Structure 1
Amino acid sequence: MKFWIFNHYAIPPGSSGITRDYDLAKRLVRHGHQVTIFASSYDHRSRKERHFKQDEKGFYKIEEYDGIRYVWVRTTPYEGNNINRVLNILSYTVRGFFASRKVTDNPDIVMGTIVHPFAAFLGYAVSKMRKSLFYFEERDLWPETLVHLGKFKPGSFIVKILYQLELFLYKKAKRIIVLFDRAHLYVKSRGISTDKVLYVPNGADLERYDERIPLTNDISEALQILKGKFIGVYTGAHGLANNLDVLLDAAKLTKEKNKDIHFLFVGAGVEKERLHKRALDELLTNVTFIDPIPKEMIPSLLKEADVGLISMWDADLYKWGMSLNKVYDYMAAELPTIIKCNIPDTIVEKANAGYKVLDAVELSEKLLLSFNSRDEIKQKGKNGRKYVEQYHSWDQLANVLLQAMNEDVKQYSNERE
């Protein structure tokens, strides 16, 4: 079976960021299938061109990683959320279409992934051109997420257009792949049958946690400075959606009561500079920021921590559920998790893998409790690992996707005969 994925922001192994496409594709390849991923050559996280040299010609190039074919589409560089970012999105959409025409073999299934809706629409357009099945993967509920984060006003012209595009993709898709456990209810609210919905949440590559890759010298030296500290770690994007001021609020409260508890922030994003400045201005000597590291090194870093930290906005959006990569990373590393949110029945609670808190005060209190209850929190970490092994390993999740693909391709072949 041949499976094409259109995800503007997909990354190869050895990079920092979300490796969902790679983790799923690697397992499909092991089952004898061919996977091609069309992604932007310009890296969204580092804001750097990663795959074309400055004087290199062409609008696409093909590389292979672990048997997975990546088609890197050359896109317009950008720094902030300005006109160049719009051009980046449009250049991926247009050049991605023409790049797909250069690939001679024909896919059985084409999946368009929403991180922005044009990538998903591109997947649909290619599926029509190639007469293939179309899967729509909705990682974030667009434009629902944008409305709830306050980036667009409800009822505005652009929001209406985005809702219509979402509905169009729902109708055209053979499968709607969702990551949130209650997202099928959102799809149903749009008037679409939930029979189309396939729940494939995020997960963990347990192989990475069983065979840890050593950290680089600079990261090891940074951690050496924190030796003897009780480390609460946050890994991931430092953006508005990540609500990281709550963690700094908790650091301020915790510092007054226990100087042996340290907060470690690992990652990058538009808010990082401001957050770092705030920590300096407020003399938060119990806070350290380090740069992103490759996904493959995350298990080695988490091994040096004592608790994983997450802070989420109190948004109505989360009534549809959540599927944060870092939750599964923490749990796979046997790291107990403290999550600040207002979501009922979180995965942390289901697995008895840590604590849910409602604000910075409670987060600080749970950190202090964890510091004084080492055996109890270690057991919570073990509970989390067991839960991930049962429900969220990429091997299991890939099998869910593969079973649906086999059924759909077989049915489609019978219909065409």
Structure 2
Amino acid sequence: MTRKPQLRNLSVMLLAHYYPPEMGGAAARLHGLARWLVRFGHQVTVVAGMPNYPAGIVPAEYRGRARVCEMIDGVDVLRTWIYASSHQTSLRRLANYFSFVASAIVGGFTAGRHFDVILASSPPLFVGLAGWVLARSYRVPWVFDIRDLWPDVAVEAGEFTPDAALTRWGYRLAQFLYCRADHITPVTENKRQKLLTSGVPSEKLTVVANGVDIDRLTCSTNGSWRVEFGIQDRFIVVYAGLIGIAQGVEVAVEAANALRHRPEIHFLIVGDGVRRADIVRRAEKLRLTNITFLPSQPRETIPAILESADVALVPLKNSQLADAVPSKLLEAWGCKRPVILLAGGEAAHLVNSAQGGVVVPPEEPRCLADAISSLVANRKALQDYGQNGYEFVKAHFEREALARRMEQVLFKVTGRGRA
């Protein structure tokens, strides 16, 4: 008689280039997964770099230290040294990436316990190298979590050209890691299809989408953000997130310029990133008074900011980013905010399926301005879109259920399960 696998909890090492207190969808996804796996009874050790993203500045409590051990929401976090960078140049970006690979391998070797499985999250793609090395050393399986396909996303965003040497090298490294991972968890169905096309077998792929913790999105209803900035009587269009190349936040400034004759409409841009300074300068050059910029805010304040707005803006740089589903889309819906999505592909399909907002072409400020004007005149649609999005997230993107899916992947690759 064949014996069933031993039923027990797992010891998981999670390699995370981005992790709270850093902002952004990557940090939120990985912390959410780690937190839920711990709540399910597993032992999770996160190996992460010193916080520095996106400004490239390490907070004082971490500065000058090679190693920091801490606990966040019940999750053991081992911080390792990293070359801090705001990614102003490709050389600095690569130094940031590879310094974490090296320090994560050292940190993983010296974590002080045995692990059943390694979970490495990309991008950066190079985190997969650390996952592969540590898995071979511990003689355990490893799972490659793919939030974005790299270098595909860099080519689609216009950062790399398809025929560049770095692009070709990136594709070869990606294939090397895909072949050696025991399982791969892309965040969208479109990414799964691309991996299938690249030769990854279907039985090696499980979609584990981004999600939200509805119970943690405790939105304020007192409108304090409106009062603080003297815009309590305005129609507020908010963008809250990273301001990088792929996000295409420039479109908000141009739309604000197109709507400068509508004083009742105000834009609120919250976040930092490599494109922020250029966008602020553009707004100043246009002498716009209908747009306010705020630096990155603590994650726990984002729900209150979203709730204070009338509509959330979710842009992407161009329509080539067809397999991206920004986490800020789900967060806005979790706060019952309607969205204006400037993207195509899978994200547009979700918005249309949920009836949770309006889809307009990316990088088209005139179309964005027209969409905002239409929503100003239709408050009933705003309410319906927000409620529809909320119900859609509750049904399909609750983080607890998605963490359960990741748990099943970990059980599968380790050959273990639990009653």
Give 5+ residue unaligned stretches, structure 1.
none
State the secondary structure of the residue aligned to 1:75: coil
Map of 2:406 onto structure 1: 401
> In 1, are the aligned partners of 2:187 and 2:209 still within 8 Å (CA)?
yes
State the secondary structure of the residue aligned to 1:331: helix
Taking the aligned partners of 1:213 and 1:136, their CA distance within structure 2 comes to 40
Map 1:308-347; keep pairs closer than 5 Å. Answer: 308-318=312-322, 321-343=323-345, 345-347=348-350
Map of 1:184 onto structure 2: 192
Counting matched residue pairs gives: 403
Greater CA drift, 47-56 or 169-178: 47-56
State the secondary structure of the residue aligned to 1:3: strand
Taking the aligned partners of 1:54 and 1:399, their CA distance within structure 2 comes to 36
Identify the match of residue 158 of structure 2 among 150, 154, 157: 150
Taking the aligned partners of 1:231 and 1:54, their CA distance within structure 2 comes to 38
Map 1:24-39; keep pairs closer than 5 Å. Answer: 24-39=33-48
Q: Deviation digits for residues 155-196 of structure 1, max 9, x if unmatched?
A: 333222211111111111121111122111111111111221
Map of 2:273 onto structure 1: 269
Shift in alpha-carbon separation, 1:144–1:382, aligned structure 2, 3 A: same
Give 5+ residue unaligned stretches, structure 2.
1-9
What is the TM-score of this pair, normalised by structure 2? Answer: 0.90
Identify the match of residue 263 of structure 2 among 256, 259, 262: 259
State the secondary structure of the residue aligned to 1:252: helix
State the secondary structure of the residue aligned to 2:268: strand
Shift in alpha-carbon separation, 1:160–1:214, aligned structure 2, 3 A: farther
* Deviation (angstroms), 1:282: 1.0
Taking the aligned partners of 2:219 and 2:161, their CA distance within structure 1 comes to 47
> In 2, are the aligned partners of 1:7 and 1:115 still within 8 Å (CA)?
no
Taking the aligned partners of 1:299 and 1:259, their CA distance within structure 2 comes to 25
Tell me the amino acid that sits aligned with residue 16 of structure 2: N
* Deviation (angstroms), 1:340: 1.4
Tell me the amino acid that sits aligned with residue 329 of structure 2: V
Identify the match of residue 299 of structure 1 among 276, 286, 303: 303
Shift in alpha-carbon separation, 1:412–1:67, aligned structure 2, 3 A: closer
2:52 corresponds to 1:43: yes
> In 1, are the aligned partners of 2:101 and 2:130 still within 8 Å (CA)?
yes
Greater CA drift, 235-244 or 378-387: 235-244
Tell me the amino acid that sits aligned with residue 204 of structure 2: K
Identify the match of residue 379 of structure 1 among 384, 405, 409: 384
> In 1, are the aligned partners of 2:62 and 2:68 still within 8 Å (CA)?
no
Tell me the amino acid that sits aligned with residue 140 of structure 2: S
Tell me the amino acid that sits aligned with residue 357 of structure 2: G
Tell me the amino acid that sits aligned with residue 375 of structure 1: K
* Deviation (angstroms), 1:333: 0.6
2:84 corresponds to 1:77: yes
Identify the match of residue 31 of structure 2 among 17, 22, 28: 22
Taking the aligned partners of 1:411 and 1:268, their CA distance within structure 2 comes to 42
> In 2, are the aligned partners of 1:47 and 1:78 still within 8 Å (CA)?
yes
State the secondary structure of the residue aligned to 1:369: helix
* Deviation (angstroms), 1:90: 2.4
RMSD over aligned CA atoms reads 2.3
Taking the aligned partners of 1:374 and 1:286, their CA distance within structure 2 comes to 20
State the secondary structure of the residue aligned to 1:113: strand
> In 1, are the aligned partners of 2:411 and 2:417 still within 8 Å (CA)?
no
Identify the match of residue 204 of structure 1 among 196, 201, 212: 212
Taking the aligned partners of 2:171 and 2:297, their CA distance within structure 1 comes to 36
> In 2, are the aligned partners of 1:42 and 1:51 still within 8 Å (CA)?
no
Q: Deviation digits for residues 342-382 of structure 1, max 9, x if unmatched?
A: 33642111100010012222221221111111122101100
* Deviation (angstroms), 1:391: 0.4
Taking the aligned partners of 2:294 and 2:345, their CA distance within structure 1 comes to 29
Identify the match of residue 112 of structure 1 among 96, 112, 120: 120
2:75 corresponds to 1:68: yes
Taking the aligned partners of 1:355 and 1:334, their CA distance within structure 2 comes to 14
Tell me the amino acid that sits aligned with residue 306 of structure 1: D
> In 1, are the aligned partners of 2:20 and 2:51 still within 8 Å (CA)?
no
Map of 1:101 onto structure 2: 109
> In 2, are the aligned partners of 1:144 and 1:317 still within 8 Å (CA)?
no
Shift in alpha-carbon separation, 1:88–1:246, aligned structure 2, 3 A: closer
Taking the aligned partners of 2:64 and 2:221, their CA distance within structure 1 comes to 34
Taking the aligned partners of 2:265 and 2:291, their CA distance within structure 1 comes to 9
> In 2, are the aligned partners of 1:334 and 1:381 still within 8 Å (CA)?
yes
* Deviation (angstroms), 1:52: 5.2
Map of 1:88 onto structure 2: 96
Identical counterparts, % of pairs? 25
Shift in alpha-carbon separation, 1:213–1:335, aligned structure 2, 3 A: closer
Tell me the amino acid that sits aligned with residue 355 of structure 1: V
Taking the aligned partners of 1:55 and 1:210, their CA distance within structure 2 comes to 36
What is the TM-score of this pair, normalised by structure 1? Answer: 0.91
Shift in alpha-carbon separation, 1:184–1:212, aligned structure 2, 3 A: same
Shift in alpha-carbon separation, 1:104–1:151, aligned structure 2, 3 A: same
Map of 2:368 onto structure 1: 363
Identify the match of residue 243 of structure 1 among 234, 240, 248: 248
